[in-house]
Structure 1
Amino acid sequence: MRKRTILLTVCAAALVVGLFLSIYGKPNYLRETLITFPIDPNATYTEASSNLEFLQSTDEDEYKLRWDTLSVLNEEAAIRQDVSLLFEDGVLKDTMSKWEENTELLAQQKEVSAEDSGHYEVITFHHAELRRPNNEFRSAQAISFDQLYVIDSPLSPLHAFKIPETAEDKESKRILDYILEQQQTYDWDDLFEYYQIPSSQYRRIPLTKIDTYQSESIPGLTMEETTKFLGGLWEGLYKNYVLGIDLNGTAVSPIGSTVPLIVIPKENPDHVFILFRTADDTPIQLMQSIPAAE
């Protein structure tokens, strides 16, 4: 299998964000963008949430989930934009994205059908574009996360939980977590070998765990640098993952692809790799520079 590496570089310093730029260029029908700017410390979210809810069983094995996101800024923004990713057992099941002008509130909702036992994770990037005097642009951003375990067992009725309470549910969670951890570790090790990345020199952060770094800095980066990095990361993922994965000029749907793995040097982190596989098992490597704080 031929190695496909999509290199991405930092956009103009005036934007102080990392933009992903494909060496192949983007398909011309991908017109939507998400653009981040320096953070405005006075603009904050009074609410930013993602939620998964078990709705009903349609038959013995099939069921529906309700997936919704909500974000409320403390002021009206020129553009509000949220992008949400739903993963099932480490694989992208669906996406939601919405933007509106001149509003502080943004809400999304979708029902999805599923079957059998599964671990569902949703990660959402909430963004606001703010226009200040003298044609200055600023951003406000937040990340939210939720998860749900659905258990389909012959020993109990089809049901779901976020935090297991019974011994049976704790064991079911342990098994699902163990299986996914083993699968992901094997796949990540294989991707590291494929792209010849020295494993001992890099830190691994699945995209589904990136919300941790809203309140703590990534080792080797300041909190300001971490926040700037997160904005640039989501800007690039939206363009080169959510809207379509560019393979030799052809846009491939991200549905069915694996959770992007964020790979950052343990020492002097000045770049990051993003590794994943498409639905047809094609390995993908993206690269982004990490700009230092001003």
Structure 2
Amino acid sequence: MYKKIITLLIIIQIFIFYFIYEQNTMETITYFPKDPHVTMAEASSVVELHNNKLQINVQSKTNTPVQLRQDVFIVFIHMYVKGIGNIWKENIDELTLKQSISITKNSTIDVLSYHYGEVVREETFTSIGKMSSTSSFFDGDTIRNRTTSNDEQIKKKYMHKMNSILQKLQIDPSLYHTFPLIDLPLYEHIPFPNMNQHDTDMIIGHLWEGLYKNYIIPMTEMKNLEKSLMPLILIDKNKEHLLVVYTLNGKEKILRQNLHPN
């Protein structure tokens, strides 16, 4: 009887660990400390015309297979969400994701992707993450790169809309360093204001975890994405927190993340 109980307890423990690991490797992005041995060897987001539609091509590859690979992307047209893509696979290094969406003449296009890998060694979890993005313009015949003046005009209109939202939410933008989500990949190479790159990378990893759970997943359950304005990132000048302000189905939302740089 005693041996049966011990055997049963062992089976239960194995099942619990398996369940936790399976839950962790489900369709999710979780920040863990950066893995020192795994790198994102390739990461790209490319758009092209295919059968009169906009085709988004997202691809990434780690230098070695890892326990979980996941890529997610968001397409913005005129700074509003137009489409979302997500793919995940276990014990693999390379992912390819393609999606087509309808597009009209004189459309501004922004695509932002996050390429993620989760590594497990002897029950120790680490992760790797990298962003890629592309910004372009569809004139009705071809897709071309936007000029600096185009970008300035687009962001000016965007910030006009966002300032109205900030005012409604009683958020004072002068207390923050602000930028639209599409600019986030810039900070893989330069740190946030008054921070170092190590802290910036850690904050970005946690930020994508929050965005995935609170922004991307809810949007996958929505029928109408086109009322969802691109998120605005606000980094507190006192380095205590950051805010993500966005809209879902026309409703204002705030995501808050505490900052604890070393």
TM-score normalised over the length of structure 1 = 0.75
Give the Cα separation in 2 of the matches to 1:150 and 1:45: 30
Aligned partner letter, 2:31: T
Give the Cα separation in 1 of the matches to 2:60 and 2:109: 21
Which residue of structure 1 aligns with residue 4 of structure 2?
none
1:115 Cα deviation from its structure 2 partner: 1.4
Find out whether 1:53 has 2:48 as its counterpart: yes
1:178 Cα deviation from its structure 2 partner: 5.2
Which residue of structure 2 aligns with residue 159 of structure 1?
142
Choose the corresponding residue for 1:271, options 217, 238, 241.
241
Find out whether 1:195 has 2:169 as its counterpart: yes
Q: Is the 8 A contact 1:53 1:148 kept in 2?
A: no
Match of 1:192, SS state, is helix
* 1:18-75 per-position Cα deviation (integer Å, ceiling 9, x unaligned): xxxxxxxxxxxxx84221200012211111111111235xxxxxx3111011111011
Which residue of structure 1 aligns with residue 76 of structure 2?
87
Give the Cα separation in 2 of the matches to 1:253 and 1:199: 31
Aligned partner letter, 1:47: E
1:285 Cα deviation from its structure 2 partner: 1.3
Find out whether 1:144 has 2:132 as its counterpart: yes
1:254 Cα deviation from its structure 2 partner: 7.3
Which residue of structure 2 aligns with residue 214 of structure 1?
188
What do you get for the CA RMSD once the two structures are aligned?
2.0
Which residue of structure 2 aligns with residue 66 of structure 1?
55
* 1:185-235 per-position Cα deviation (integer Å, ceiling 9, x unaligned): 211211221222222111112111100011111112221111111111111
Aligned partner letter, 1:80: R
Find out whether 1:112 has 2:86 as its counterpart: no
Give the Cα separation in 2 of the matches to 1:70 and 1:237: 20
Give the Cα separation in 2 of the matches to 1:107 and 1:208: 21
83-92 vs 113-122, greater mean Cα deviation: 113-122
Match of 1:114, SS state, is coil
Choose the corresponding residue for 1:285, options 240, 244, 254.
254
Match of 1:181, SS state, is helix
With a CA cutoff of 8 Å and minimum separation of 6, indicate the structure with the bigger relative contact order. 1
111-120 vs 76-85, greater mean Cα deviation: 111-120
1:288 Cα deviation from its structure 2 partner: 1.1
* 1:88-139 per-position Cα deviation (integer Å, ceiling 9, x unaligned): 0100000000000001111101122211211101000100000123x11000
Aligned partner letter, 1:263: L
5+ unaligned residues in a row in structure 1: which ranges? 1-30, 57-62, 153-157, 164-169, 246-250
TM-score normalised over the length of structure 2 = 0.84
Aligned partner letter, 2:236: P
Q: Is the 8 A contact 2:44 2:133 kept in 1?
A: yes
Match of 1:277, SS state, is strand
Greater fraction helix:
2
Match of 2:187, SS state, is helix
Aligned partner letter, 1:114: I
* 1:264-285 per-position Cα deviation (integer Å, ceiling 9, x unaligned): 112x312111111223x21111
**Identity of paired residues, percent?**
27
Choose the corresponding residue for 2:211, options 237, 254, 258.
237
Q: Is the 8 A contact 1:80 1:103 kept in 2?
A: yes
Which residue of structure 1 aligns with residue 156 of structure 2?
182
Choose the corresponding residue for 2:229, options 250, 255, 258.
258
Q: Is the 8 A contact 2:27 2:88 kept in 1?
A: no
5+ unaligned residues in a row in structure 2: which ranges? 1-25
User: Judging changes above 3 Å, is the alpha-carbon distance between structure 1 residues 216 and 177 closer, same or farther for their aligned structure 2 residues?
Assistant: closer
Q: Is the 8 A contact 1:76 1:102 kept in 2?
A: yes
